[in-house]
Amino acid sequence: MSPTKTETRRQFLKTTGLAALAAVSLPAILRAQSAPAIVSGKNLNSRIRIGVIGCGARSSAASAYIGTGISEVVALADPNRDARRKWASKFLKGQPAREYSDFRELLQSDVDAVHIVTGDYWHVPAALLSARAGKNIYVEKPLGLSIEQCLACREISAEHKIVVQYGTQNRSTVYVRSGVELLLNGHIGEVKEIYVFCREGESGGSPTPVLPVPEGFDYNMWLGPAPEAPFCEDRVLGKASRKGIYHINDYAIGFIAGWGAHPYDQLQWWLDEMNIGMPTKVEATGRIPTEGLFNTVVDWDATITYPGLQPKVRFADNKTIKATLPKLDGFEPSDHGTLFVGEKGWLFFCRTGFQASSREILQLNKNPGPRRVINAGASHTANFLDAILGKNKVVSPLDSAIRSDICCHLADLAIRTGHSVGWDAKKNTVTNNADAVPLMKRAMRAPWNVLNPKYTA
């Protein structure tokens, strides 16, 4: 048969016989071995009480906890009073919820779990403090602002008996799960080429005019661990993808991780299942703006070498990658995704679609073979709740998040230093680039350096 085009969700489910599976959150088949239920001090018949940390635009995903019958949003934390009130008005519609400017007060309450959807620079401090408070955690991607912060998250797995879901929700789509299973069962043969790509970053932004801090906005809390800086539109408010928290290096490393986390995590899922460890070498070039407020990597091209993996991984923004993508009959790249080229065919998948070298490969989703992965159903938040209740395991575990996020950081460090970087997986440190070693860490404004040196040294 001729190669398939990108399929819509409805078409894909129809042609692969998975429509029935997509309609339920926990299919009877492929259910992971149950983990222990962890709802401290609560009867499992009562609702899981959720606290939302961060009420910006991307926090709308946390509204999925409302109306489930097993969970409820009972608390909101955001230094911007207007953001809290807007979230409550839009999603809670009169249902009561406690509001906090400082999320540490929320952690002292009786919430069972938190959904962390702050700027990237807050993810790790908020997650560590939440874990120490005994709260189950859903934390958005990317993970840390530095490699040191990523390593610090190992404390959570080592010392705290909680459930942690990483916010790479592509794992909860039928396309990505099925793509990984087809790879694992050898339907394209030995993998010869791998390409990972996503949207490029943005440049520009202006530090002026400096604006007065609005009433009800705790700007010192908003800055948190980041350096002091004047309040201005492009730094704090912004619109859509042109928010300073995405493109200013004090708050993020840019879309190389902010967007790259999704397609790279898709690769990481396969790497984990193949027992392939961390890369040993990352070579990368890229562009960092020298004018304007935004100063994270805008476009990049990285080649990543893994031990035991024959092909090198090509990781780039979606414009740069066009020059290196192979010419495959029927392949129509989207703005992000992961492409695997094998000796017998190819597979490409992302959150919105699925492509393969033939329709026969797609149809094998009905029975891909014995190697399966965790089936989260169609909802990342529902999978998180099921894991808390002991009905499933999280599909995006923290240890995998640490590995994939560090890979994004290694590419960023190679670009910033102008030289390739190595990685010593036993010592958890950069090698072969003395300039990159100090960049593994970030200064954190007091009192927000809550990293435990036991896990970062």
* Rounded CA separation 247/207 (Å): 13
Rounded Cα distance, 153 and 127, in Å: 8
Beta-strand (E) ranges in 291-393?
299-305, 313-317, 337-342, 346-349, 354-356
pLDDT at position 397 = 98
Residue 78 maps to a domain: yes
Local confidence band at 57 (pLDDT 50, 70, 90 cut-offs)? confident
Q: Which residue type sits at 221?
A: M
Is pLDDT above 90 for 30? no
- Taking Cα atoms as reference points, which of 263, 264, 265, 273 lies closest to residue 353? 263
Q: pLDDT tier at 36 (50, 70, 90 boundaries)?
A: very low
424-438 pLDDT per residue, tens:
999 999 999 999 999
C-alpha torsion angle, residues 344, 341, 349, 182 (rounded to 10): 40
Q: What is the per-residue pLDDT for 209?
A: 97
Amino acid at position 44, single letter? L
The pLDDT score that the predictor gives to residue 241 is 83
Q: Bigger pLDDT: 34 or 208?
A: 208
pLDDT number for residue 75: 98
pLDDT in tens, 174-211: 999 999 999 999 999 999 999 999 999 999 999 999 99
Q: Does 361 score more than 70 pLDDT?
A: yes
* CB 51, CB 76: distance < 8 Å: yes
- For residue 39, the model assigns a pLDDT of 62
pLDDT band at 378 (very low <50, low <70, confident <90, very high): confident
Average pLDDT (157-164) is 97
Integer Rg of the chain from CA: 22
Quickly state the pLDDT bin for 5 (edges 50, 70, 90).
very low
Q: Which run of H or E residues covers position 280? A: none
Residue 323 falls within a domain, yes or no?
no
Residue 385 lies in a domain: no
- pLDDT above 70 as % of the chain: 90
What pLDDT, on the 0 to 100 scale, is given for residue 173?
96
Question: Quick check: is 244 in a domain?
Answer: no
Q: What's the mean pLDDT in 80-103?
A: 96
- What domain range includes position 87? 27-170
State residue 6's pLDDT score: 44
435 inside domain = no
Query: Does residue 364 sit within a domain?
Result: no
Question: What is the rounded average pLDDT for all residues in the chain?
Answer: 91
Lowest mean pLDDT, pick from 3-12, 142-151, 319-328? 3-12
What is the structure's pLDDT at 453? 97
Look at residue 9 and tell me whether its pLDDT is greater than 60.
Answer: no
CATH of the domain at 158: 3.40.50.720
Is residue 27 a contact partner of residue 21, using CB atoms and an 8 Å limit? Answer: yes
Mean pLDDT of the 5-18 span: 42
Weakest-pLDDT range from 16-20, 188-192, 222-226, 429-433: 16-20
Q: What is the pLDDT of residue 240?
A: 81
Structurally, the chain folds into a number of domains equal to: 1
Instruction: Say yes or no to pLDDT of 20 above 60.
Output: no
Residue 16 placed within a domain: no
Cα separations in angstroms, 216 against 2, 85, 230, 312, 401: 60, 11, 17, 50, 35
Q: Would you say residue 12 has pLDDT above 60?
A: no
The pLDDT, as a whole number, for residue 42 is 55
Within a domain: 234: no
Lowest mean pLDDT among 22-36, 44-58, 409-423: 22-36
